[in-house]
Amino acid sequence: MDIVVCIKWVPNTTSVNIDQKTGTLIRSGVPSVINPHDLHALEIALTLKDRFGGSVTAITMAPPSAKLGLEHAIGMGCDRAILLTDMVYAGADTLATSYTLAKTISKLKFDLILVGQETVDSSTAHIGAQVASWLHIPYLYYVVDVNYLGDGKIWAKRLLEDAYEEYELTLPALLAAAMHSTHPRRVKLSYKLRCKSEQIIEVWSNKTLGLEANCVGLKGSPTIVRKTSFVPEVPRKKIVCKPKDVEQAAEWLIKRLIEERLLKI
Ligand SMILES: Cc1cc2nc3c(=O)[nH]c(=O)nc-3n(C[C@H](O)[C@H](O)[C@H](O)COP(=O)(O)OP(=O)(O)OC[C@H]3O[C@@H](n4cnc5c(N)ncnc54)[C@H](O)[C@@H]3O)c2cc1C
Protein backbone atom coordinates (compact mmCIF):
# COMPACT_ATOMS: atom_id res chain seq x y z
CA MET A 1 0.00 0.00 0.00
CA ASP A 2 1.34 3.46 -0.87
CA ILE A 3 0.54 5.91 1.90
CA VAL A 4 0.87 9.70 2.12
CA VAL A 5 0.99 11.29 5.56
CA CYS A 6 0.33 15.02 5.98
CA ILE A 7 2.27 16.54 8.84
CA LYS A 8 2.17 20.12 10.05
CA TRP A 9 5.18 21.99 11.43
CA VAL A 10 3.80 23.92 14.39
CA PRO A 11 5.19 26.23 17.06
CA ASN A 12 5.80 24.30 20.25
CA THR A 13 2.69 25.48 22.07
CA THR A 14 4.24 24.93 25.47
CA SER A 15 6.49 27.91 24.73
CA VAL A 16 4.34 30.09 22.47
CA ASN A 17 2.79 33.45 23.38
CA ILE A 18 0.29 35.72 21.71
CA ASP A 19 0.93 39.37 20.93
CA GLN A 20 -1.94 41.01 22.84
CA LYS A 21 -1.92 44.05 20.51
CA THR A 22 -1.96 42.33 17.11
CA GLY A 23 -3.55 39.05 18.22
CA THR A 24 -1.00 37.01 16.26
CA LEU A 25 1.32 34.26 17.46
CA ILE A 26 4.77 35.42 18.48
CA ARG A 27 6.72 32.88 16.43
CA SER A 28 10.20 34.40 16.55
CA GLY A 29 12.49 32.46 18.82
CA VAL A 30 9.83 29.80 19.35
CA PRO A 31 11.04 26.30 18.45
CA SER A 32 8.77 24.31 16.13
CA VAL A 33 7.88 20.64 16.26
CA ILE A 34 5.82 18.16 14.25
CA ASN A 35 2.20 18.60 15.31
CA PRO A 36 2.10 15.95 18.10
CA HIS A 37 -1.16 14.40 16.81
CA ASP A 38 0.48 13.78 13.42
CA LEU A 39 2.93 11.35 15.03
CA HIS A 40 -0.04 8.97 15.41
CA ALA A 41 -0.82 9.31 11.70
CA LEU A 42 2.82 8.49 10.95
CA GLU A 43 2.78 5.52 13.32
CA ILE A 44 -0.39 4.05 11.76
CA ALA A 45 1.08 4.47 8.27
CA LEU A 46 4.41 2.88 9.20
CA THR A 47 2.70 -0.04 10.96
CA LEU A 48 0.66 -0.69 7.79
CA LYS A 49 3.87 -0.60 5.76
CA ASP A 50 5.58 -3.02 8.18
CA ARG A 51 2.69 -5.47 7.81
CA PHE A 52 1.68 -5.12 4.18
CA GLY A 53 4.65 -3.48 2.40
CA GLY A 54 4.48 -0.43 0.15
CA SER A 55 5.77 3.05 0.88
CA VAL A 56 5.16 6.01 3.16
CA THR A 57 5.64 9.59 1.97
CA ALA A 58 5.46 12.49 4.43
CA ILE A 59 4.42 15.91 3.11
CA THR A 60 4.18 19.30 4.72
CA MET A 61 3.35 22.80 3.53
CA ALA A 62 5.55 25.02 5.63
CA PRO A 63 8.54 27.36 5.77
CA PRO A 64 11.99 25.85 4.95
CA SER A 65 12.74 25.16 8.64
CA ALA A 66 10.18 22.32 8.48
CA LYS A 67 12.90 20.21 6.85
CA LEU A 68 13.76 19.26 10.42
CA GLY A 69 10.28 17.80 10.90
CA LEU A 70 10.58 15.82 7.68
CA GLU A 71 13.97 14.50 8.86
CA HIS A 72 12.15 13.25 11.95
CA ALA A 73 9.57 11.52 9.73
CA ILE A 74 12.36 9.88 7.68
CA GLY A 75 14.01 8.90 10.97
CA MET A 76 10.80 7.11 11.99
CA GLY A 77 10.90 5.12 8.73
CA CYS A 78 9.21 7.14 5.95
CA ASP A 79 10.61 6.44 2.50
CA ARG A 80 10.16 9.86 1.01
CA ALA A 81 9.44 13.41 2.21
CA ILE A 82 8.20 16.48 0.36
CA LEU A 83 8.43 20.04 1.62
CA LEU A 84 6.00 22.42 -0.10
CA THR A 85 7.43 25.82 0.40
CA ASP A 86 6.89 29.04 -1.49
CA MET A 87 6.10 32.62 -0.51
CA VAL A 88 2.84 32.36 -2.50
CA TYR A 89 1.60 29.71 -0.04
CA ALA A 90 1.98 32.06 2.98
CA GLY A 91 -1.13 33.22 4.83
CA ALA A 92 -3.23 30.27 3.65
CA ASP A 93 -6.52 29.48 5.40
CA THR A 94 -7.76 25.89 5.54
CA LEU A 95 -9.32 26.05 2.05
CA ALA A 96 -6.08 27.16 0.39
CA THR A 97 -3.99 24.79 2.53
CA SER A 98 -6.14 21.76 1.72
CA TYR A 99 -6.21 22.69 -1.99
CA THR A 100 -2.40 22.86 -2.14
CA LEU A 101 -2.03 19.57 -0.25
CA ALA A 102 -4.63 17.83 -2.43
CA LYS A 103 -2.99 19.06 -5.64
CA THR A 104 0.37 17.76 -4.36
CA ILE A 105 -1.06 14.36 -3.39
CA SER A 106 -2.74 14.03 -6.76
CA LYS A 107 0.75 14.09 -8.32
CA LEU A 108 1.80 11.09 -6.16
CA LYS A 109 0.96 7.40 -6.34
CA PHE A 110 -1.23 6.76 -3.27
CA ASP A 111 -3.79 4.33 -1.89
CA LEU A 112 -4.27 5.89 1.52
CA ILE A 113 -3.81 9.35 3.07
CA LEU A 114 -3.33 9.82 6.80
CA VAL A 115 -3.63 13.07 8.72
CA GLY A 116 -3.70 13.99 12.38
CA GLN A 117 -7.02 14.66 14.08
CA GLU A 118 -6.25 18.37 14.40
CA THR A 119 -3.34 20.69 15.00
CA VAL A 120 -2.24 22.23 18.27
CA ASP A 121 -1.88 25.73 16.79
CA SER A 122 -5.07 26.22 14.75
CA SER A 123 -7.13 23.13 15.67
CA THR A 124 -9.82 23.50 13.02
CA ALA A 125 -9.75 19.77 12.08
CA HIS A 126 -10.81 20.91 8.58
CA ILE A 127 -7.84 19.78 6.55
CA GLY A 128 -8.51 16.02 6.43
CA ALA A 129 -12.12 16.39 5.28
CA GLN A 130 -11.23 19.14 2.83
CA VAL A 131 -8.33 17.22 1.22
CA ALA A 132 -10.60 14.18 0.82
CA SER A 133 -13.32 16.38 -0.70
CA TRP A 134 -10.93 17.93 -3.24
CA LEU A 135 -9.83 14.40 -4.22
CA HIS A 136 -13.40 12.97 -4.15
CA ILE A 137 -12.43 10.10 -1.85
CA PRO A 138 -14.07 8.79 1.36
CA TYR A 139 -12.71 9.81 4.76
CA LEU A 140 -13.03 8.80 8.38
CA TYR A 141 -12.00 10.70 11.54
CA TYR A 142 -10.96 9.55 15.08
CA VAL A 143 -9.33 6.37 13.75
CA VAL A 144 -7.55 4.16 16.29
CA ASP A 145 -6.88 0.98 14.31
CA VAL A 146 -6.58 -0.01 10.64
CA ASN A 147 -6.17 -3.27 8.76
CA TYR A 148 -5.79 -4.04 5.07
CA LEU A 149 -8.43 -6.50 3.90
CA GLY A 150 -7.07 -7.05 0.37
CA ASP A 151 -8.93 -6.29 -2.87
CA GLY A 152 -8.42 -2.55 -2.39
CA LYS A 153 -10.35 -2.43 0.91
CA ILE A 154 -9.42 -1.46 4.44
CA TRP A 155 -11.07 -1.99 7.82
CA ALA A 156 -10.86 0.92 10.25
CA LYS A 157 -12.00 1.32 13.83
CA ARG A 158 -12.77 4.72 15.29
CA LEU A 159 -13.37 5.91 18.80
CA LEU A 160 -16.32 8.17 19.53
CA GLU A 161 -17.08 9.56 22.99
CA ASP A 162 -18.54 6.35 24.35
CA ALA A 163 -18.38 3.81 21.54
CA TYR A 164 -16.19 2.22 18.91
CA GLU A 165 -17.39 2.08 15.31
CA GLU A 166 -15.98 -0.22 12.65
CA TYR A 167 -15.95 0.63 8.94
CA GLU A 168 -14.92 -0.92 5.67
CA LEU A 169 -13.62 1.61 3.14
CA THR A 170 -12.66 1.25 -0.48
CA LEU A 171 -9.27 2.71 -1.35
CA PRO A 172 -8.19 5.38 -2.06
CA ALA A 173 -9.39 6.88 1.20
CA LEU A 174 -8.30 9.33 3.89
CA LEU A 175 -8.09 8.59 7.62
CA ALA A 176 -7.59 11.04 10.46
CA ALA A 177 -5.76 9.36 13.34
CA ALA A 178 -7.32 9.89 16.76
CA MET A 179 -5.31 11.65 19.42
CA HIS A 180 -3.37 9.23 21.65
CA SER A 181 -4.25 6.31 19.36
CA THR A 182 -0.71 4.85 19.17
CA HIS A 183 2.71 4.88 20.78
CA PRO A 184 4.70 6.61 18.04
CA ARG A 185 8.00 4.88 17.41
CA ARG A 186 11.33 6.52 18.11
CA VAL A 187 13.60 7.90 15.43
CA LYS A 188 16.31 5.48 14.26
CA LEU A 189 19.66 7.14 13.72
CA SER A 190 20.44 4.87 10.75
CA TYR A 191 17.22 6.01 9.02
CA LYS A 192 17.82 9.66 9.86
CA LEU A 193 21.35 9.51 8.43
CA ARG A 194 19.76 8.82 5.03
CA CYS A 195 18.78 12.51 5.01
CA LYS A 196 22.48 13.40 5.01
CA SER A 197 23.61 10.88 2.41
CA GLU A 198 20.68 10.94 -0.04
CA GLN A 199 18.54 13.74 -1.48
CA ILE A 200 15.60 12.19 0.32
CA ILE A 201 13.77 15.40 1.20
CA GLU A 202 12.35 16.97 -1.95
CA VAL A 203 11.57 20.68 -1.94
CA TRP A 204 8.63 21.61 -4.16
CA SER A 205 7.83 25.23 -4.89
CA ASN A 206 4.90 26.58 -6.88
CA LYS A 207 7.06 26.12 -9.98
CA THR A 208 6.78 22.37 -9.36
CA LEU A 209 3.04 22.44 -8.69
CA GLY A 210 2.09 25.22 -11.13
CA LEU A 211 -1.00 26.26 -9.14
CA GLU A 212 -2.86 29.51 -9.91
CA ALA A 213 -1.64 32.22 -7.50
CA ASN A 214 -5.30 33.16 -6.85
CA CYS A 215 -6.06 29.70 -5.42
CA VAL A 216 -3.21 29.47 -2.89
CA GLY A 217 -1.85 31.38 0.08
CA LEU A 218 -3.52 34.58 1.25
CA LYS A 219 -5.03 35.31 -2.20
CA GLY A 220 -6.77 31.93 -2.24
CA SER A 221 -8.08 32.31 1.32
CA PRO A 222 -11.65 33.56 1.73
CA THR A 223 -11.37 33.50 5.55
CA ILE A 224 -10.54 36.84 7.17
CA VAL A 225 -9.71 37.18 10.86
CA ARG A 226 -11.60 40.36 11.81
CA LYS A 227 -10.88 40.42 15.50
CA THR A 228 -9.04 38.43 18.13
CA SER A 229 -10.42 38.51 21.68
CA PHE A 230 -8.69 37.29 24.79
CA VAL A 231 -10.23 35.51 27.71
CA PRO A 232 -9.52 37.75 30.74
CA GLU A 233 -6.90 36.28 33.01
CA VAL A 234 -8.40 34.90 36.23
CA PRO A 235 -6.34 35.96 39.25
CA ARG A 236 -5.26 32.90 41.22
CA LYS A 237 -4.98 32.91 45.01
CA LYS A 238 -2.17 30.33 44.90
CA ILE A 239 -2.98 28.81 48.30
CA VAL A 240 -1.22 25.52 48.94
CA CYS A 241 -2.52 22.94 51.42
CA LYS A 242 0.14 20.88 53.16
CA PRO A 243 -1.82 18.21 54.99
CA LYS A 244 -0.54 15.36 57.12
CA ASP A 245 -2.99 12.89 55.63
CA VAL A 246 -5.88 12.59 53.17
CA GLU A 247 -8.58 13.19 55.81
CA GLN A 248 -6.96 16.43 56.92
CA ALA A 249 -6.64 17.50 53.27
CA ALA A 250 -10.33 16.77 52.62
CA GLU A 251 -11.40 18.70 55.74
CA TRP A 252 -9.20 21.64 54.75
CA LEU A 253 -10.55 21.63 51.18
CA ILE A 254 -14.20 21.52 52.27
CA LYS A 255 -13.61 24.38 54.71
CA ARG A 256 -12.00 26.50 51.98
CA LEU A 257 -14.79 25.76 49.49
CA ILE A 258 -17.43 26.81 52.06
CA GLU A 259 -15.47 29.99 52.84
CA GLU A 260 -15.31 30.79 49.13
CA ARG A 261 -19.08 30.11 48.88
CA LEU A 262 -18.43 27.40 46.32
CA LEU A 263 -19.99 24.71 48.50
CA LYS A 264 -23.08 24.73 50.75
CA ILE A 265 -23.76 22.13 53.43
C1 LIG B 1 -7.24 34.11 7.31
C2 LIG B 1 -6.25 33.12 7.81
C3 LIG B 1 -4.91 33.43 7.64
C4 LIG B 1 -3.97 32.54 8.10
N5 LIG B 1 -2.67 32.86 7.95
C6 LIG B 1 -1.72 32.03 8.39
C7 LIG B 1 -0.34 32.34 8.27
O8 LIG B 1 0.04 33.38 7.75
N9 LIG B 1 0.58 31.45 8.74
C10 LIG B 1 0.18 30.26 9.31
O11 LIG B 1 1.04 29.47 9.72
N12 LIG B 1 -1.12 29.94 9.45
C13 LIG B 1 -2.08 30.78 9.01
N14 LIG B 1 -3.39 30.45 9.17
C15 LIG B 1 -3.73 29.17 9.76
C16 LIG B 1 -3.86 28.16 8.66
O17 LIG B 1 -5.05 28.32 7.94
C18 LIG B 1 -3.88 26.78 9.23
O19 LIG B 1 -2.68 26.65 9.94
C20 LIG B 1 -3.91 25.72 8.16
O21 LIG B 1 -4.90 25.93 7.19
C22 LIG B 1 -4.17 24.36 8.75
O23 LIG B 1 -5.32 24.38 9.56
P24 LIG B 1 -5.28 23.71 10.98
O25 LIG B 1 -3.95 23.99 11.60
O26 LIG B 1 -6.51 24.08 11.70
O27 LIG B 1 -5.28 22.15 10.59
P28 LIG B 1 -6.26 20.98 11.04
O29 LIG B 1 -7.36 20.86 10.07
O30 LIG B 1 -6.58 21.07 12.50
O31 LIG B 1 -5.21 19.80 10.79
C32 LIG B 1 -5.58 18.45 10.60
C33 LIG B 1 -4.40 17.73 10.01
O34 LIG B 1 -4.15 18.19 8.68
C35 LIG B 1 -2.75 18.12 8.40
N36 LIG B 1 -2.24 19.46 8.11
C37 LIG B 1 -2.71 20.65 8.54
N38 LIG B 1 -1.95 21.67 8.05
C39 LIG B 1 -0.98 21.08 7.28
C40 LIG B 1 0.11 21.58 6.53
N41 LIG B 1 0.36 22.89 6.44
N42 LIG B 1 0.91 20.69 5.88
C43 LIG B 1 0.66 19.35 5.96
N44 LIG B 1 -0.35 18.83 6.67
C45 LIG B 1 -1.16 19.68 7.33
C46 LIG B 1 -2.10 17.52 9.65
O47 LIG B 1 -2.06 16.11 9.51
C48 LIG B 1 -3.08 17.92 10.73
O49 LIG B 1 -3.01 17.10 11.88
C50 LIG B 1 -4.35 31.31 8.73
C51 LIG B 1 -5.70 31.04 8.89
C52 LIG B 1 -6.64 31.93 8.44
C53 LIG B 1 -8.07 31.62 8.66
CATH number of domain containing 115: 3.40.50.620
Shared domain for 245 and 214, answered yes or no, is: no
Please list, residue by residue across 103-133, b when 16 or more beta carbons sit within 10 angstroms of its beta carbon and e when fewer do.
Answer: bbbeeeebbbbbbbbbbbbbeebbbbbbbbe
* H helices present in 175-227, as ranges: 189-192, 194-197, 206-209
Q: Is 226 contained in some domain?
A: no
Shared domain for 81 and 122, answered yes or no, is: yes
Is the distance from the beta carbon of residue 118 to the nearest atom of ligand 1 less than 6 Å?
yes
Task: Note the pLDDT of residue 147.
Answer: 98
Closest C-alpha residue for ligand 1 atom 24: 122
Among 84, 39, 30, CA closest to 208: 84
Shared domain for 120 and 251, answered yes or no, is: no
Is the distance from the beta carbon of residue 122 to the nearest atom of ligand 1 less than 6 Å?
yes
Q: What is the longest distance spanned by two Cα atoms in the chain? A: 71
Summarised one tens digit per residue, pLDDT across range 33-49 is 999 999 999 999 999 99
Sign, Cα dihedral of 11, 33, 98, 104 = positive
Give residue 154 CA to ligand 1 midpoint distance, Å.
28
State the Cα–Cα distance between residues 154 and 3, nearest whole angstrom: 13
Shared domain for 182 and 250, answered yes or no, is: no
**Ligand 1 binding pocket mutation candidate from 119, 141, 215, 224 (most atoms within 8 A of CB):** 119
State the Cα–Cα distance between residues 91 and 146, nearest whole angstrom: 34
**Total number of domains in the chain:** 2
Task: Note the pLDDT of residue 207.
Answer: 97
Shared domain for 96 and 139, answered yes or no, is: yes
- Domain span at residue 122 reads 2-220
Shared domain for 36 and 136, answered yes or no, is: yes
Task: Note the pLDDT of residue 174.
Answer: 98
Closest C-alpha residue for ligand 1 atom 53: 93
Shared domain for 142 and 207, answered yes or no, is: yes
Q: Is 228 contained in some domain?
A: no
Give residue 125 CA to ligand 1 midpoint distance, Å.
9
Please report the atom of ligand 1 found closest to the CA of residue 126: 29
Q: What is the DSSP string of 27-55?
A: -TT--EEE-TTHHHHHHHHHHHHHHH--E
Is the Cβ–Cβ distance between 68 and 187 less than 8 Å? no
Q: Is 13 contained in some domain?
A: yes
Shared domain for 175 and 65, answered yes or no, is: yes
The residue length of the chain stands at 265
Please report the atom of ligand 1 found closest to the CA of residue 97: 21
Is the distance from the beta carbon of residue 178 to the nearest atom of ligand 1 less than 6 Å?
no
CA-CA-CA-CA dihedral for 210, 211, 213, 215, to nearest 10: 180
Q: Is 246 contained in some domain?
A: yes
Shared domain for 78 and 9, answered yes or no, is: yes
Shared domain for 158 and 239, answered yes or no, is: no
Q: Is 227 contained in some domain?
A: no
Q: Is 89 contained in some domain?
A: yes
**Ligand 1 binding pocket mutation candidate from 95, 117, 122 (most atoms within 8 A of CB):** 122
Q: Is 120 contained in some domain?
A: yes
Task: Note the pLDDT of residue 14.
Answer: 72
* H helices present in the chain, as ranges: 38-52, 67-76, 94-105, 127-135, 189-192, 194-197, 206-209, 246-259
Is the Cβ–Cβ distance between 156 and 140 less than 8 Å? yes
Q: Is 23 contained in some domain?
A: yes
State the Cα–Cα distance between residues 164 and 134, nearest whole angstrom: 28
Is the distance from the beta carbon of residue 253 to the nearest atom of ligand 1 less than 6 Å?
no
- Pick out the chain residues at pLDDT < 50: none
Give residue 220 CA to ligand 1 midpoint distance, Å.
13
Shared domain for 75 and 191, answered yes or no, is: yes
Among 134, 166, 165, 164, CA closest to 153: 166
Give residue 10 CA to ligand 1 midpoint distance, Å.
9
- Backbone torsions φ then ψ of 243, nearest 5 degrees: -80, 165
Is the distance from the beta carbon of residue 102 to the nearest atom of ligand 1 less than 6 Å?
no
State the Cα–Cα distance between residues 93 and 223, nearest whole angstrom: 6
Is the Cβ–Cβ distance between 81 and 59 less than 8 Å? yes
Is the distance from the beta carbon of residue 23 to the nearest atom of ligand 1 less than 6 Å?
no
Shared domain for 262 and 188, answered yes or no, is: no
Give residue 106 CA to ligand 1 midpoint distance, Å.
19
Is the distance from the beta carbon of residue 128 to the nearest atom of ligand 1 less than 6 Å?
yes
Q: Hey, how many other C-beta atoms are within 10 angstroms of the C-beta on 93?
A: 18
Summarised one tens digit per residue, pLDDT across range 167-214 is 999 999 999 999 999 999 999 999 999 888 888 899 999 999 999 999
